[in-house]
């Protein structure tokens, strides 16, 4: 039995690499002796080879995507090359965020199960709707705090999670014209984020600042020894962080009068 296929993301038709593809005889449980498996290549392709004609149950899974189970497939002969089939399987993504600032569980806790159901019961692709709100909310937070914090340092911070969740719930509520549910939360979060961006409000202290935000100070002198670039930094009385904004070097080759 030969079976080839391709795994793609239904949202952008891009191939999914390292997806797990498993097939087992319908008479045996998944993971049993008859199970054969493969992992998709960079182009999303995979190939399964078994010793029995079938019928086989094909399952495709990948972290962040819903598991896809195909209808049982029967092969006329285990060694018949004519049974090779090219099949494109579309996997729909689950609620996986871009930066990890919030997730579907946090949104459901704030919105409630019934509230989230009411806001998404008009679509069959609830995962996509929620995921889009998460991505938009995370971009709103990231665009205002990116100059202060690395993304991986913001992930998991309670303050970041709560504000991102407020914003995501607000974006979701607008689908049915109920944005007043989270209007106050959204406006409060946006006010805080804008104040942090402008420097009016101090960002959460438990998140390490980016290296380039450390203060630096340079004391300068005029050094007549050089024929050009006479203004020089005095490193003995100048300060900066581990990656300071100021170059503390007293001189460099290209600043010498010989060049």
**pLDDT (average), residues 141-168:** 90
Give me the pLDDT at residue 226, please.
74
Mean pLDDT of the 72-87 span:
54
pLDDT of residue 189: 96
pLDDT in the model for residue 166 = 96
Taking residue 43's Cβ as centre, other Cβ atoms within 10 Å add up to: 12
End-to-end CA distance of the chain: 73
More confident residue, 186 or 132: 186
Fold of 2-91: Immunoglobulin-like (2.60.40)
pLDDT band per the 50, 70, 90 thresholds, residue 134: very high
Residue 257: band (very low, low, confident or very high) from pLDDT cuts 50, 70, 90: very low
The pTM of this model reads: 0.53
Check pLDDT > 80 for residue 37.
yes
Is a pLDDT exceeding 70 seen at residue 137?
yes
Q: What is the pLDDT of residue 172?
A: 94
Q: Is the dihedral angle over the CA atoms 152, 158, 161, 164 positive or is it negative?
A: negative
Q: Where do you find CATH 2.60.40.1120 in the chain?
A: 2-91
Residue 22: pLDDT over 60: yes
pLDDT in tens, 166-224: 999 999 999 988 889 999 999 999 999 999 888 888 777 678 877 666 566 777 888 88
pLDDT-derived band of residue 53, with 50, 70 and 90 as boundaries?
A: low
The listed range with the strongest mean pLDDT (48-57, 166-175, 246-255) is 166-175
pLDDT of the residue at 83: 44
pLDDT at 186: 96
Of 58, 66, 55, nearest to 10 (Cα)? 66
pLDDT value at residue 38: 85
């Amino acid at each position: 039995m030969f079976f080839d296929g391709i795994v793609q993301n239904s949202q952008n038709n891009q191939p999914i690499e390292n997806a797990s593809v498993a097939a087992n005889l319908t008479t045996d449980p998944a993971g049993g002796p008859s199970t054969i498996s493969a992992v998709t290549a960079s182009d999303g392709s995979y190939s399964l080879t078994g010793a029995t004609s079938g019928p086989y149950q094909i399952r495709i899974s990948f972290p962040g995507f819903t598991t896809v189970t195909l209808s049982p497939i029967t092969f006329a002969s285990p060694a018949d090359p004519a049974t090779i089939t090219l099949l494109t399987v579309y996997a729909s993504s689950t609620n996986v965020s871009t930066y990890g600032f919030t997730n579907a569980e946090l949104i459901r806790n704030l919105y409630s199960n019934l509230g989230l159901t009411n806001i998404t019961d008009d679509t069959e692709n609830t995962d996509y709707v929620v995921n889009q709100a998460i991505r938009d909310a995370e971009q709103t937070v990231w665009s205002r705090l990116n100059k202060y914090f690395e993304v991986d340092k913001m992930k998991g911070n309670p303050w970041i999670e709560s504000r991102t969740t407020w914003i995501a719930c607000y974006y979701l509520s607008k689908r049915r014209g109920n944005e007043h549910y989270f209007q106050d939360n959204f406006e409060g979060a946006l006010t805080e984020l804008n104040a942090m961006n402008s420097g009016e409000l101090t960002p959460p202290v438990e998140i390490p600042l980016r290296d380039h935000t450390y203060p630096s100070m340079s004391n300068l002198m005029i050094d007549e020894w050089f024929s050009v670039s006479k203004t020089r930094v005095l490193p003995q009385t100048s300060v900066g962080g581990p990656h300071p904004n100021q170059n503390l070097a007293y001189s460099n080759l290209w600043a010498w009068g010989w060049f």
